[in-house]
């Protein structure tokens, strides 16, 4: 074998090996994510239990809970939209339990046109829902517009500071009635699972690298000829 072919062959084999290993790693992550989603789906549908004394954002995420208390009337609006309804907001409300704890409750979607006329205080009732610490912020998420009480993400800690509650959010399954307010219970549809797409991308890159290596080897041999 020509000395000129050896470096190109080594580079080609090494590149394909690295890209293939990344593809197989994404497939292993895919299996882990599918197992995680299955566990979450099983947890979401469990019977609600009393709210833990100190909910953990990792261990208790999506845990079904039930709490008795009332809405104080204090709310924050998170910009949202819903197919068939148009622009609106998710209503994040302050909920005071019978024991005096104050929590956040994601009450669901409210059309923008109904925002000013809606009443958010309530009598005492029992609420059921799922604990959640939504992870829907990124580096492009704007700061909240406090003058309009309009937020752009359900960030539990900032919202809890704003409304004076514990950093705990319950996404309502059932709720006290408010005209045109639509509950939006937790489900697994929002859990990202793009590992298969990443795996396919890495394997395609490996195939491209292999093809380019073969072309380079052919060019080198043609040059010698």
Window from 7-11, 30-34, 167-171 with minimum mean pLDDT:
30-34
Asked whether residue 126 is assigned to any structural domain, the reply reads yes
Confidence tier at 69 by pLDDT (50, 70, 90): very high
Averaged pLDDT, 125-146: 88
> 131 or 83: whose pLDDT is higher?
131
Phi and psi, residue 96, nearest 5°: -105, 120
pLDDT on residue 213: 87
Asked whether residue 74 is assigned to any structural domain, the reply reads yes
Distances in whole angstroms, Cα of residue 55 to Cα of each of 27, 32, 35, 123, 144: 32, 24, 23, 25, 26
**Closest C-alpha among 196, 186, 183 to residue 26:** 196
What range does the domain containing 118 cover?
43-190
Averaged pLDDT, 94-122: 92
Asked whether residue 212 is assigned to any structural domain, the reply reads no
Question: Is the confidence at residue 129, as pLDDT, over 90?
Answer: yes
pLDDT on residue 51: 94
The C-alpha atoms of residue 104 and residue 70 are separated, in whole angstroms, by: 12
The C-alpha atoms of residue 71 and residue 120 are separated, in whole angstroms, by: 7
**Per-position DSSP letters for the chain, written without gaps between them:** --TTHHHHHHHHHHHHHHHHHHHHHHHHHHHHHHHHHHHHHHHHTSPPEEPPSS--TTTTTT-EEEEEEEEEEEEEEEEEEETTTEEEEEEEEEEEETTS-EEEEEEEEEEGGGTTT------SEEEEEEE-------TTPPPPBTTTTEESS--HHHHHHHHT--S-EEEEEE----TT-B-----GGGS---HHHHHHHHHHHHHHHHHHHHHHHHHHHHHH-
Asked whether residue 149 is assigned to any structural domain, the reply reads yes
- How many structural domains does the chain have? 1
The C-alpha atoms of residue 82 and residue 44 are separated, in whole angstroms, by: 22
Asked whether residue 221 is assigned to any structural domain, the reply reads no
Averaged pLDDT, 65-88: 91
The C-alpha atoms of residue 197 and residue 127 are separated, in whole angstroms, by: 39
> 224 or 221: whose pLDDT is higher?
221
pLDDT on residue 190: 58
Asked whether residue 225 is assigned to any structural domain, the reply reads no
pLDDT tens digits along 137-191: 877 889 999 999 999 999 999 999 999 999 999 999 988 888 889 998 887 665 6
Asked whether residue 109 is assigned to any structural domain, the reply reads yes
Asked whether residue 31 is assigned to any structural domain, the reply reads no
> 225 or 5: whose pLDDT is higher?
5
pLDDT on residue 86: 85
> 166 or 15: whose pLDDT is higher?
166
Confidence tier at 27 by pLDDT (50, 70, 90): confident
Averaged pLDDT, 205-212: 91
């Amino acid at each position: 074998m020509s000395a000129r072919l050896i470096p190109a062959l080594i580079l080609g084999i090494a590149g394909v090996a690295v890209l293939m290993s990344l593809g197989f790693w994404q497939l292993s992550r895919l299996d882990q994510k599918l197992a995680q989603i299955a566990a979450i789906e099983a947890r979401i549908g469990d019977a609600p239990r009393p709210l833990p004394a100190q909910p953990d954002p990792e261990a208790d995420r999506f845990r079904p809970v039930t709490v008795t208390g009332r809405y104080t009337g204090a709310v924050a609006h998170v910009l949202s939209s819903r197919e068939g309804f148009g622009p609106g907001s998710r209503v994040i409300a302050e909920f005071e339990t019978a024991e005096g704890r104050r929590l956040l409750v994601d009450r669901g979607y409210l059309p923008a046109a109904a925002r000013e006329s809606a009443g958010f205080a309530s009598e005492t009732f029992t609420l059921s829902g799922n604990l959640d610490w939504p992870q829907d912020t990124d580096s492009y998420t704007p700061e909240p517009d406090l003058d309009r009480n309009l937020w752009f993400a359900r960030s539990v800690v900032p919202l809890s500071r704003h409304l004076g509650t514990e950093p705990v959010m319950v996404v309502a399954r059932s709720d006290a009635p408010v005209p045109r307010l639509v509950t939006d219970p937790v489900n697994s549809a929002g859990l990202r699972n793009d590992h298969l797409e990443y795996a396919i991308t890495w394997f395609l890159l490996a195939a491209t690298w292999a093809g380019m290596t073969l072309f380079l080897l052919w060019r080198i041999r043609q040059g010698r000829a």
